[in-house]
C-alpha cells in the first residue's frame, strides 16, 4: 500500500520548498497540522479504495460534491442528497460533455475529471482532496526494490490541474488551505462565505457565485428600503451562518442608521427546547420584528415551528439568505408563519439542456456515475437487486424502466447553472492559456505539461464570457463573481397562485416592487426600536443604541431647534402649535369695549358731567353768598382738579402712544395734586385762623384769597417740577410688555402695549398727592373742633377720611394682582375707579350740598351782616359750647361771611 501511495518518504523538506514559494505570509505550523492530519486519515482512506468517479481526459479536473449528507457519530457519510449532490455532480459531467463536443473550445483536448464525495463534512472532504495533490508530492523510491532486485515500476498518478467545488463554505475553506500549497486553482459553485474573499489566505480560490458580503449588502439595502432600523439576526453555527451575519452587521454599521437588537447563534447540535428559548430571546426586543436569518434549512424550519408554537404567527418578519431562497422544504406546513418573508437568491436560470440531459439518464446509460444506482433507489422509492444483498421487503423492486420526471418529481436544483459556469470558467482559462503557450499546436503542448497552477490562476481571473444563463461570468481581484440577486417574497393573500414571488433584483443597487404582507396589506410593517417623535418632540437618545430614543416634548416657550434639541423662542415670540418654529406673540391693549373699561368710563363720564354742572352753577351764581363763602378762587381750583381726575380715566384707557404717555405722566398725579393742594390750603387756613384766635384778635398772615391761590400753586408747582424732570431724564414712550401676560401655556401669551411706566413709577407719580392728602387729613382732624356753622372743616374732614379709606383699599388690590394674568386690566381699572371715587367723594361732600341750596333753596342764599375777625372768633368760641344744641339748624341760616377786608 505504501509503495502504491508513495508517501513513506514525505518529510518537511518538501514543505520548506513549498513554503518559500507559496506561504510567505501564512503560519506554516497551522498548515502543517492540517496536512499531517489529512495524511493520517488518507492512509486509512486508501486502504479501502475511495469511491470516486474517474473520467479519462487529456487534462483532468477535480470535482467535490456533497453526494451524501453528514453521517451520524462515527460514520462519515449519511443518506444520499439528490438535488445538492447528484444534480450538481451530474451538472459537472454534463458541462464536460458539452465542452468536449465543442470544436471551438479546447479543440483536440479532452477534459477528464476525478469527482469525489465530501459527505457534507469538512474533515472528510480534506481526506478526499489529497487525491488531487498526490501527483505533486515528491517521492524517494531509491530504497524500494522488486523481488528480483530491479526498481519497481510505479504508475504515474493523474495530475489534477484545477478543482470544481466545494459546496459548503466550511468544506471549501478546509480544502483551499491544502490546494494552495500545491498551486491548484479552485472554483466553487456554491461557497459564499465572506472569509474566502481574503486573497492573502485563499489566493487560489475563486467562485462563480457572489460572496455573502454582497448578499449581506443586498439584505442591508432591503431592510433600509422597508424603513426598518432595528432588527435581530439568527445564524446557524458554522462558517456560512456566522460569516454571513458578521458581514451583515459590519455593513450595517458602516452604512449607519441600522441597529442590531440581538445576534443569536443556533448551535450545531441544538438541545431540546433550544428554539423555544431563541424565540423568547427575540421577544425580549419585540419591537425588532425584522429577523435576518443566515441558517440551514433544518434550522429555518425549527425556528418557524417554535414561532408558531409560541402563538407568534405574523409577528416576526423574516429576511432570509440564499440558504432559504425559494425553497419549499423549510416552510412546509408553516406557510402562515413564513408569510411576508423576504428571501434572496443569486440570480439564476434553469438550464433547459441540463433538464433534457438529466431526465434521460438511466441505469444503462449512466454507469460512469457510481452513485446513480443509490440515487435511483431513493428517487423512485424502490430497491435494486444486487448480488449478496438481501432485498428489503418494505420496498418494491426496481424495474429499471422508471424515468426521471415521469415517474418521480423533478425540479432542477438551483446551483446547477453555477456548476456549469464553474466548469466552463476553467475550460475558458485553459483555452486562453493553450492559445498563448502552444501557439496553435494541436493537443497539450510541452509548455502545458504540466500545467502551471499559478499561471492558470491568472488566466482564470482574466476570463469574461457569457455563462449558461446568458449572464456574464467574471472574477474580481479576490476571485469573487459579481453580485446579482433575485429578491423573493412568500405571499399568501390576494394572489391567484400563492408562493414565492419575485419582487425585485439587486445588482450593486436595489430595485423593489409589489411587496405584500399579511392580509394583502401593502403597507410595510414596522421594525423599529423607537417610533418617530411627534411634532414638537425632541429625541433623547438611549446610550449605546443609536436607533433607540425617548421622545420629550419641547414644553413652555421652547420650540424644536433640531431633532435632538429644544430652544427658547425670543422674548417677543411664542412657539407655533406644532412647536417647529416660533411666531410673533399677539399684542393687545385695553379696549374701550372691554368690561374692564366700561365701568371706569361710565364713572368718569358721570363725574365729568357732575363736575361740569357744579362749575356752571358756581359761575352762574358766582356772586351769591354761598359761592363767595366757599372761597370762589380755591373752589374753582379744586373743581378743576376734580375734573382732571375724571379725565385721566380716558387717558389710561386710550391706546398708548408717545403723546398719550406724556399726558398720562402729566395728568395722572396733577388732578389729585390740584385737588388736595386746594383742600390742604383751606384746612390750613381754617386751622390757623382759629388757633390764632385763641391767642389774639390779630388775624394770621396769608389768609387772603390771593395768598391762598399762591400757596396752592406753590404746592402744584412741586408736582409739575417732578414731572418735567421725569420728562427730561426718561422721555415718554411706549413699550410692549411680553413678560406680564406670559402664562405657562404659550397659546395664551400676549404682549401688552403700554406706556413705559412701571408700578413703582406710577406710585411715585401719585406719591406727592398722597402726601398732600395725608397732610390735609391731619389738618382736618386738628380742625374737627371748629363748629360747622363757621367753616368747611368738617365736610373736608369727612372727605379726607373717606378718601383715605378708598386709597387704603386701592393699595392691596393694586399690588396684590401683580401676578395675575390680567394684571394690566385689573390695575388700570382699580386705579381709575379709585381716582373717580375719591373725586366723587370730594365733589359730593363739598359742593353738591351747596349746589342743592343754590338751586332748590335760593332763599337761604342771602347776604348776612359782616362781622369783625374778633367777633367771628368769639362767636366760634361760644358756638363750640352750643354745637350740640345748634346742630339741627340749617347751614344757610347759621353761616356768616367773614370779613375779607381784614
Residue 446 sits in the same domain as residue 299: no
Three-state SS for 362-426 is CCCCCCCCCCHHHHHHHHHCEECCECCECCCCCCEECCCCCCCCCCCCCCCCCCHHHHHHHHHHH
Structure-model confidence comparison of residues 895 and 787, the more confident one:
787
DSSP helix, strand, coil percent of the chain (3-state; round to 5): 45, 15, 35
Same domain, 831 and 762: yes
Lowest-confidence region among 181-185, 204-208, 323-327: 323-327
pLDDT (0 to 100) of residue 696: 66
Q: How many whole angstroms separate alpha carbon 499 and alpha carbon 793?
A: 111
**Which CATH number is 556's domain given?**
2.10.50.30
Whether the predicted pLDDT of 902 surpasses 50: no
In a domain, 620, yes or no: yes
Residue range 485-500: mean pLDDT, rounded: 84
**In a domain? residue 166:** yes
Least confident of 551-555, 738-742, 820-824: 820-824
Q: Is residue 579 located within the same domain as residue 603? A: no
Whether the CB-CB separation of 216 and 194 falls below 8 Å is answered with yes
Within-domain flag for 612: yes
Share of the chain above pLDDT 70, in %: 84
| Mean local confidence (pLDDT), 803-811 | 81
Is residue 7 over pLDDT 50?
no
Domain that includes residue 163, residue range: 52-137+156-184+352-384+415-470
Of 203-212, 559-568, 816-825, 862-871, the least confident: 862-871
59, part of any domain: yes
Length of the chain: 902
Q: What's the pLDDT band for 622 if we cut at 50, 70, 90?
A: confident
**Per-residue model confidence as pLDDT tens digits over 641-676:** 999 999 989 988 888 899 999 998 888 888 889 988
User: Above 70 in pLDDT, residue 589?
Assistant: yes
Task: Note whether 774 and 810 are same-domain residues.
Answer: yes
- Asked whether residue 803 is domain-assigned, the answer is yes
Between these two residues, 831 and 146, which has the higher pLDDT value?
A: 831
Are residue 641 and residue 781 in the same domain, yes or no?
Answer: yes
CATH code of 717's domain: 1.20.1070.10
Q: Are residues 784 and 656 in the same domain?
A: yes
pLDDT tens profile 739-772 = 878 888 898 888 888 888 877 787 778 888 888 8
- Helix (H/G/I), strand (E/B), else coil: 504: strand
**CA 889, 893, 895, 898 torsion-angle sign:** negative
Residue 747 belongs to some domain of the structure: no
493 and 459: one domain? no
Average pLDDT over residues 57-73: 92
pLDDT digits (tens, 9 = 90+) for 244-293: 899 899 999 888 889 999 999 999 888 999 999 999 999 999 999 999 99
Regarding whether 601 and 580 lie in a shared domain, the answer is: no
How many structural domains does the chain have? 4
Identify the CA nearest to 164 among candidates 281, 82, 59: 59
pLDDT recorded at residue 236: 92
Which of the 8 DSSP states describes residue 730? S
> pLDDT at position 50, please?
46
Are 720 and 831 in a shared domain? yes
DSSP lists the bridge partners of residue 875 as: none
> Hey, what's the torsion of the CAs at 657, 660, 662, 666, to 10 degrees?
-160
Q: Tell whether 562 is covered by a domain.
A: yes
- Pair (604, 702) in one structural domain: yes
CATH of the domain at 365: 3.40.50.2300
**pTM for this one?**
0.58
Residues 791 and 849 in one domain: yes
- Report pLDDT for 201: 93
Binned at pLDDT 50, 70 and 90, residue 818 comes out as: low
Indicate whether 874 belongs to any domain: no
> 247 near 210, Cβ under 8 Å?
no
Say whether both 631 and 766 belong to one domain.
yes
Amino acid at each position: 500500500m505504501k509503495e502504491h501511495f508513495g508517501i513513506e518518504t514525505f518529510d518537511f523538506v518538501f514543505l520548506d520548498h513549498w513554503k518559500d514559494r507559496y506561504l510567505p505570509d501564512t503560519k506554516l505550523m497551522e498548515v502543517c497540522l492540517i496536512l499531517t492530519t489529512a495524511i493520517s486519515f488518507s492512509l486509512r482512506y486508501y486502504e479501502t479504495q475511495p469511491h470516486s468517479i474517474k473520467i479519462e481526459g487529456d487534462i483532468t479536473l477535480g470535482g467535490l460534491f456533497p453526494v451524501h449528507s453528514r453521517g451520524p457519530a462515527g460514520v462519515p457519510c449519511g443518506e444520499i442528497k439528490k438535488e445538492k449532490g447528484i444534480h450538481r455532480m451530474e451538472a459537472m459531467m454534463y458541462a464536460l460533455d458539452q465542452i468536449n463536443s465543442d470544436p471551438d473550445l479546447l479543440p483536440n483536448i479532452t477534459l477528464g475529471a476525478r469527482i469525489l464525495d465530501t459527505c457534507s463534512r469538512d474533515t472528510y472532504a480534506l481526506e478526499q482532496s489529497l487525491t488531487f495533490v498526490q501527483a505533486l508530492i515528491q517521492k524517494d523510491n531509491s530504497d524500494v526494490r522488486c523481488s528480483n532486485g530491479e526498481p519497481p515500476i510505479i504508475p504515474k498518478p493523474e495530475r489534477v490541474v484545477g478543482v470544481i467545488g466545494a459546496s459548503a463554505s466550511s468544506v471549501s475553506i478546509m480544502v483551499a488551505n491544502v490546494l494552495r500549497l500545491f498551486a491548484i486553482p479552485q472554483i466553487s459553485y456554491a461557497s459564499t462565505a465572506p472569509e474566502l474573499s481574503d486573497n492573502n489566505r485563499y489566493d487560489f480560490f475563486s467562485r462563480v457565485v457572489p460572496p455573502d458580503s454582497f448578499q449581506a449588502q443586498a439584505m442591508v439595502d432591503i431592510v433600509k428600503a422597508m424603513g426598518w432600523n432595528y432588527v435581530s439576526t439568527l445564524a446557524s453555527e458554522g462558517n456560512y451562518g456566522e460569516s454571513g451575519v458578521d458581514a451583515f452587521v459590519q455593513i450595517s454599521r458602516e452604512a449607519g442608521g441600522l441597529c442590531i437588537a440581538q445576534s443569536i447563534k443556533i448551535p450545531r447540535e441544538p438541545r431540546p427546547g433550544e428554539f423555544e428559548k431563541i424565540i423568547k430571546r427575540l421577544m425580549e426586543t419585540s419591537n425588532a420584528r425584522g429577523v435576518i436569518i443566515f441558517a440551514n434549512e433544518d434550522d429555518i424550519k425549527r425556528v418557524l415551528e417554535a414561532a408558531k408554537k409560541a402563538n407568534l404567527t405574523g409577528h416576526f418578519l423574516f429576511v432570509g439568505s440564499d440558504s432559504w431562497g425559494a425553497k419549499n422544504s423549510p416552510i412546509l406546513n408553516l406557510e402562515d408563519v413564513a408569510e411576508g418573508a423576504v428571501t434572496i437568491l443569486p440570480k439564476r436560470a434553469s438550464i433547459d439542456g441540463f433538464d433534457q440531459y438529466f431526465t434521460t439518464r438511466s441505469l444503462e446509460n449512466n454507469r460512469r456515475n457510481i452513485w446513480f444506482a443509490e440515487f435511483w433507489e431513493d428517487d423512485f422509492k424502490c430497491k435494486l437487486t444486487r448480488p449478496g444483498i438481501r432485498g428489503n421487503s418494505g420496498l418494491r423492486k426496481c424495474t429499471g424502466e422508471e424515468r426521471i420526471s415521469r415517474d418521480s418529481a423533478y425540479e432542477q436544483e438551483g446551483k446547477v447553472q453555477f456548476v456549469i459556469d464553474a466548469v466552463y470558467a476553467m475550460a475558458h482559462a485553459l483555452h486562453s492559456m493553450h492559445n498563448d503557450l502552444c501557439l496553435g499546436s494541436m493537443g497539450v503542448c510541452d509548455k502545458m505539461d504540466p500545467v502551471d497552477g499559478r499561471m492558470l490562476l491568472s488566466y482564470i481571473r482574466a476570463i469574461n464570457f457569457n455563462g449558461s444563463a446568458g449572464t456574464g461570468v467574471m472574477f474580481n481581484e479576490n476571485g469573487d463573481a459579481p453580485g446579482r440577486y433575485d429578491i423573493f417574497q412568500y405571499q399568501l393573500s390576494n394572489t391567484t397562485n400563492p408562493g414565492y414571488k419575485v419582487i425585485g433584483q439587486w445588482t450593486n443597487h436595489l430595485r423593489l416592487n409589489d411587496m405584500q404582507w399579511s392580509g394583502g396589506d401593502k403597507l410595510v410593517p414596522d421594525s423599529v426600536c423607537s417610533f418617530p417623535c411627534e411634532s414638537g418632540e425632541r429625541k433623547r437618545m438611549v446610550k449605546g443604541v443609536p436607533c433607540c430614543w425617548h421622545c420629550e416634548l419641547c414644553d413652555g416657550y421652547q420650540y424644536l431647534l433640531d431633532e435632538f434639541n429644544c430652544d427658547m423662542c425670543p422674548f417677543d415670540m411664542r412657539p407655533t402649535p406644532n412647536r417647529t418654529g416660533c411666531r410673533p406673540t399677539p399684542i393687545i391693549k385695553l379696549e374701550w369695549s372691554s368690561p374692564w373699561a366700561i365701568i371706569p368710563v361710565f364713572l368718569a363720564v358721570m363725574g365729568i358731567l357732575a363736575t361740569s354742572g357744579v362749575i356752571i352753577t358756581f359761575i352762574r351764581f358766582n356772586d351769591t353768598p354761598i359761592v363767595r363763602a366757599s372761597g370762589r378762587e380755591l373752589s374753582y381750583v379744586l373743581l378743576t382738579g376734580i375734573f382732571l381726575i375724571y379725565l385721566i380715566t380716558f387717558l389710561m384707557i386710550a391706546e398708548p402712544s408717545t403723546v398719550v404717555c406724556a399726558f398720562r405722566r402729566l395728568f395722572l398725579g396733577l388732578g389729585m395734586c390740584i385737588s388736595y393742594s386746594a383742600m390742604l390750603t383751606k384746612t390750613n387756613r381754617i386751622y390757623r385762623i382759629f388757633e390764632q384766635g385763641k391767642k389774639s384778635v390779630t388775624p394770621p398772615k396769608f389768609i387772603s384769597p390771593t395768598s391762598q391761590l399762591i400757596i396752592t400753586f406753590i404746592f402744584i408747582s412741586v408736582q409739575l417740577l417732578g414731572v418735567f424732570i421725569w420728562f427730561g431724564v426718561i422721555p415718554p414712550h411706549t413699550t410692549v410688555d411680553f413678560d406680564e401676560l406670559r402664562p405657562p401655556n404659550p397659546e395664551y401669551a400676549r404682549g401688552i402695549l403700554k406706556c413705559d411706566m412701571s408700578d413703582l413709577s406710577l406710585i411715585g407719580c401719585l406719591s406727592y398727592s398722597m402726601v398732600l392728602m395725608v397732610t390735609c387729613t391731619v389738618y382736618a382732624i386738628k380742625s374737627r373742633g371748629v363748629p360747622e356753622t363757621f367753616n368747611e372743616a368738617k365736610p373736608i374732614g369727612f372727605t379726607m377720611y373717606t378718601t383715605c379709606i378708598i386709597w387704603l383699599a386701592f393699595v392691596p388690590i393694586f399690588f396684590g394682582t401683580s401676578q395675575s394674568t390680567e394684571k394690566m386690566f385689573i390695575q388700570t381699572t382699580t386705579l381709575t375707579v379709585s381716582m373717580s371715587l375719591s373725586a366723587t367723594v370730594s365733589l359730593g361732600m363739598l359742593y353738591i350740598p351747596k349746589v342743592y341750596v343754590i338751586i332748590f333753596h335760593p332763599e337761604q342764599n342771602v347776604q348776612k351782616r359782616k362781622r369783625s375777625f374778633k367777633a367771628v372768633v368769639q362767636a366760634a368760641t361760644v358756638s363750640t359750647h352750643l354745637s350740640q344744641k345748634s346742630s339741627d339748624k340749617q347751614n344757610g341760616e347759621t353761616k356768616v361771611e367773614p370779613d375779607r377786608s381784614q
